[in-house]
C-alpha cells in the first residue's frame, strides 16, 4: 500500500513540478488574498495584526480548495480515472498518495504565506514549537478531508461549486483550532495552544481513517 | 377514492398532530404562566427547544440510515436518510427563526457567535450540503452511495465542530433555561413536554409522507424508464407480432420467436 | 421574516410586554403557517405521485 501511495504521490508531484500550476497560480492567489484582506480591513496595522492568525488560515483554506480541485482535475481527462481504478493500485494507497501530494504542496504554500504575513502584516514569528506542528497537523487534516470530498466531487459536472459547499463546513473546526493555536504561538503565550493542537491531531487522524474506509467506494462512484 | 400517500394510520396521526398543536398553542400562549425572568418571551421556548431537539434527532437518524444503507444497500435505508435530513432541516429552520426572535428580546440581538449557535449554524450548512448532494443528477444507485458517504461523514464533523466551538466560545448564556428538567416545573414543564410530543409526532407524520413520496418518485422514474425501453423495442420491430414486448423476454431485434 | 424584522426595529424602544407578545405571536404564527404550508404541499405532492403509479406498486416497502 505504501508503495502505491508513493507512486501516486510521486506522479502528482512530478505533474506539479512540470506544470507549475501551484507556483504560478495557487501561490499568487494566496498572496493576493492577503493583499485583499489588507484592502478590506483598515490599513491601520492594528486590525490586521490582531486578525493575522485568522486571515492566514482563511487564505490557506481557500488556496487549499484550489489545490484540491486541481489535484483531481488532472485526472478528469478521458479515461485517466478509469485507468486509475483499473490499475490494481490499492485505493487506500491512492488515497494516501493523493493526501501526501496535496499536503506537501500546501505546506510549501503555508511557508510562503507565513513569509507573507511577516512582511505584510508585521507579524513576529515566534513559538515555533507550536507553530510547526500546528501547520503539519492542520495541513494533514485539510488534505485528508479534501481528498475525500474532492474525489466525490471530481466526477460531477458541478464540481467547482459543490466542493466548497461540502468541504468548507467540514473544515470549520480546523480553521477554528489552527487560528487559535497560531494566535497562541504568535502571541507568545503558547499554553492554550496545545489543546488546539490536540484537536487538530484528532481531526487529522479521524479523516485519514475515514479516507481509508471510504476512498475506494468513492473512487468507484466518481 | 383519491389516490394519495395517506393511509388510515397517517390520518389518525395527522388528526392527533392537529389536535395536539391546537392544545399546545392553548397552553403555550394562554394557560402556561409567564416566566419570572423571561416574562412572556418564554412562550417561544416551547417552539424553539422541541424543534431543536427533534431536528438533531432527525440528523442522527440520517447518519444511522446512511450507515444502514452502506451495509444493507436497500432503497428503504436510502430514502429514510434523505427524508429525515429534509425534515430535520425544516425543523432546524424553525429552531433558528424562533431562536433569533427569542434572542432579540432576551439578549437584544438576533444572533451571537456563542458555541451553541455557531455549532447549529455549521450543522445547518452541513445538512444543506448533504441535501445538495442528494439532488445531483446521478444514476440512482450512485447517488445513493455517494449520499450515504456524505451522510455518514456528518457525524464526525458534527462532533469535531462541537468540541471546536465549545472550546472556542463560552457556553450558551441562557444555559439555565435550556437545561429543562432543572428549572422548569408545573405547567411550564407540561407545556414543554407537550411541545416535544407534538413536534415529534409532526416529524413522524412528515417522515412517513415524505418517505412515500420519495418511494413513489422512484417508482415513477422506473415506470417511465420501462415505458421508454418498451417504446424503443417497439420501434425496432415495427413488423413484429402484436405481443407486448417484455423486458425479460427475448426482445432482441432479429431474434427468432 | 422581513416583516418581523421591521416590526422589531420599529418598537425597539422598550422591551415591554406588548413588544414581547408581538414577537411571541410572530414566532408561533410563522412556524405554524410554514408547517401548515409544508403539510398541504406534502399531501398534494403525494396525491399527484400516487395517481401516476398503479395500485399494485403502491406498497411502501
Domain borders along chain C are: 2-53
**What is the rounded average pLDDT for all residues in chain B?**
83
Residue C11 CA: distances (Å) to CA of A91, B6, B19, C28: 61, 45, 34, 19
Across the range B112-131, mean pLDDT stands at: 89
What per-residue confidence (pLDDT) applies to C9?
Answer: 33
Across the range C40-60, mean pLDDT stands at: 81
Which residues, 6+ apart, have CB-to-CB distance to B54 below 8 Å?
Answer: B88, B91, B196, B199, B200, B203
The secondary structure of residue C52, as a DSSP letter, is H
Instruction: Indicate contact of B with A: 3+ CB pairs under 8 A.
Output: yes
Domain span at residue B110 reads 10-219
Q: How far, in Å, CA of A103 to CA of A95, rounded?
A: 12
Do the Cβ atoms of A117 and A179 come closer than 8 Å? Answer: no
Question: What SS3 state is found at B39?
Answer: strand
CATH of the domain at B140: 1.20.120
pLDDT tens for the 222 residues of chain A, in order: 788 888 888 888 888 888 877 778 888 999 999 989 888 887 676 788 888 899 999 999 999 999 998 888 877 766 777 777 777 788 888 899 999 999 999 999 999 999 988 888 877 877 788 888 899 999 999 999 999 999 888 877 777 888 999 999 999 999 999 998 988 888 777 777 888 898 999 999 999 999 998 888 888 876
Do the Cβ atoms of B92 and B123 come closer than 8 Å? Answer: yes
- pLDDT tens-digit readout, C13-25: 346 778 888 888 8
Q: How far, in Å, CA of B234 to CA of B244, rounded?
A: 9
Q: Is residue B2 part of a domain?
A: no
ipTM: 0.84
- pLDDT tens-digit readout, B144-196: 999 999 999 898 888 888 888 888 875 444 443 444 334 567 788 888 899 99
Q: Which of B137, B146, B156 sits opposite A152 (nearest CB)?
A: B146
Across the range B138-142, mean pLDDT stands at: 86
> How many C-beta atoms lie closer than 10 Å to residue C21's C-beta?
15
Looking up cell 487538530 gives A200
pLDDT of C55 higher than 80:
no
Q: In A6-37, which positions are buried (b, 16+ CB within 10 angstroms) versus exposed (e)?
A: eebbebbbebbeeeebbeeebbebbbebbeeb
Q: How far, in Å, CA of C61 to CA of C59, rounded?
A: 6
Sort out which chain B residues have CB atoms less than 8 A from A173's CB and list them.
157, 160-161, 163-165
CA of C49 vs chain B CAs: smallest distance (Å): 6
Q: In B143-167, which positions are buried (b, 16+ CB within 10 angstroms) versus exposed (e)?
A: bbbbbbbbbbbbbbbbebbbbbbbb
Q: How far, in Å, CA of A11 to CA of A83, rounded?
A: 14
Query: Best mutation site among C28, C33, C57 for testing chain B: the one with the most B CBs within 10 Å?
Result: C28
pTM: 0.83
CB contact under 8 A, B44 and C27: yes
In chain B, the number of structural domains is: 1
Q: Is residue B17 part of a domain?
A: yes
pLDDT of B127 higher than 90:
yes
CB contact under 8 A, B150 and A199: no
What per-residue confidence (pLDDT) applies to B124?
Answer: 93
Note the helical H segments in chain A: 2-19, 21, 27-40, 45-73, 80-86, 91-120, 128-154, 159-187, 193-221
Amino acid at each position: 500500500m505504501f508503495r502505491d501511495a508513493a507512486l501516486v504521490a510521486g506522479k502528482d508531484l512530478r505533474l506539479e513540478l512540470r506544470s507549475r500550476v501551484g507556483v504560478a497560480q495557487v501561490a499568487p492567489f494566496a498572496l493576493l488574498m492577503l493583499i485583499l484582506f489588507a484592502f478590506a480591513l483598515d490599513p491601520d496595522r492594528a486590525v490586521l495584526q490582531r486578525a493575522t492568525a485568522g486571515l492566514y488560515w482563511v487564505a490557506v483554506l481557500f488556496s487549499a480548495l484550489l489545490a484540491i480541485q486541481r489535484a483531481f482535475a488532472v485526472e478528469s481527462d478521458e479515461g485517466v480515472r478509469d485507468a486509475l481504478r483499473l490499475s490494481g493500485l490499492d485505493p487506500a494507497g491512492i488515497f494516501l498518495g493523493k493526501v501526501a501530494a496535496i499536503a506537501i504542496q500546501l505546506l510549501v504554500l503555508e511557508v510562503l504565506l507565513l513569509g507573507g504575513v511577516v512582511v505584510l502584516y508585521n507579524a513576529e514569528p515566534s513559538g515555533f514549537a507550536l507553530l510547526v506542528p500546528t501547520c503539519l497537523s492542520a495541513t494533514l487534516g485539510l488534505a485528508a478531508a479534501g481528498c475525500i470530498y474532492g474525489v466525490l466531487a471530481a466526477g460531477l459536472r458541478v464540481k467547482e461549486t459543490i466542493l466548497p459547499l461540502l468541504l468548507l463546513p467540514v473544515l470549520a473546526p480546523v480553521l477554528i483550532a489552527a487560528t487559535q493555536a497560531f494566535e497562541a504561538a504568535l502571541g507568545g503565550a503558547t499554553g492554550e495552544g496545545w489543546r488546539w493542537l490536540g484537536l487538530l491531531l484528532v481531526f487529522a487522524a479521524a479523516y485519514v481513517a475515514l479516507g481509508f474506509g471510504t476512498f475506494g467506494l468513492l473512487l468507484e462512484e466518481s | 377514492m383519491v389516490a394519495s400517500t395517506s393511509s388510515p394510520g397517517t390520518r389518525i396521526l395527522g388528526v392527533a398532530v392537529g389536535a395536539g398543536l391546537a392544545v399546545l398553542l392553548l397552553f403555550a400562549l394562554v394557560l402556561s404562566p409567564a416566566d419570572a425572568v423571561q416574562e412572556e418571551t418564554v412562550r417561544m421556548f416551547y417552539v424553539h427547544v422541541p424543534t431543536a431537539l427533534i431536528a438533531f434527532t432527525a440528523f442522527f437518524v440520517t447518519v444511522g440510515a446512511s450507515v444502514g444503507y452502506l451495509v444493507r444497500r436497500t432503497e428503504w435505508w436510502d430514502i429514510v436518510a434523505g427524508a429525515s435530513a429534509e425534515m430535520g432541516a425544516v425543523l432546524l429552520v424553525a429552531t433558528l427563526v424562533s431562536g433569533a426572535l427569542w434572542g432579540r428580546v432576551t439578549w437584544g440581538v438576533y444572533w451571537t457567535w456563542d458555541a451553541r449557535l455557531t455549532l447549529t449554524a455549521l450543522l445547518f450548512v452541513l445538512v444543506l450540503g448533504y441535501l445538495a448532494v442528494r439532488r445531483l443528477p446521478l444514476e440512482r444507485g450512485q447517488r445513493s452511495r455517494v449520499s450515504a458517504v456524505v451522510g455518514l461523514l456528518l457525524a464526525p464533523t458534527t462532533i469535531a465542530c462541537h468540541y471546536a466551538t465549545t472550546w472556542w466560545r463560552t457556553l450558551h448564556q441562557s444555559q439555565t433555561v435550556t437545561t429543562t428538567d432543572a428549572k422548569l416545573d408545573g405547567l411550564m414543564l407540561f407545556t414543554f413536554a407537550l411541545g416535544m410530543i407534538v413536534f415529534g409526532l409532526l416529524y413522524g407524520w412528515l417522515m412517513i409522507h415524505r418517505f412515500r413520496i420519495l418511494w413513489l418518485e422512484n417508482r415513477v422514474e422506473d415506470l417511465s424508464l420501462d415505458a421508454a425501453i418498451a417504446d424503443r423495442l417497439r420501434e425496432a420491430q415495427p413488423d413484429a407480432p402484436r405481443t407486448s414486448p417484455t423486458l425479460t423476454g427475448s426482445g432482441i431485434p432479429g431474434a427468432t420467436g | 421574516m422581513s416583516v418581523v424584522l421591521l416590526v422589531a426595529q420599529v418598537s425597539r424602544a422598550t422591551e415591554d410586554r406588548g413588544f414581547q407578545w408581538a414577537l411571541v405571536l410572530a414566532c408561533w404564527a410563522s412556524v405554524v403557517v410554514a408547517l401548515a404550508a409544508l403539510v398541504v404541499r406534502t399531501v398534494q405532492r403525494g396525491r399527484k405521485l400516487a395517481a401516476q403509479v398503479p395500485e399494485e406498486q403502491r406498497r411502501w416497502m
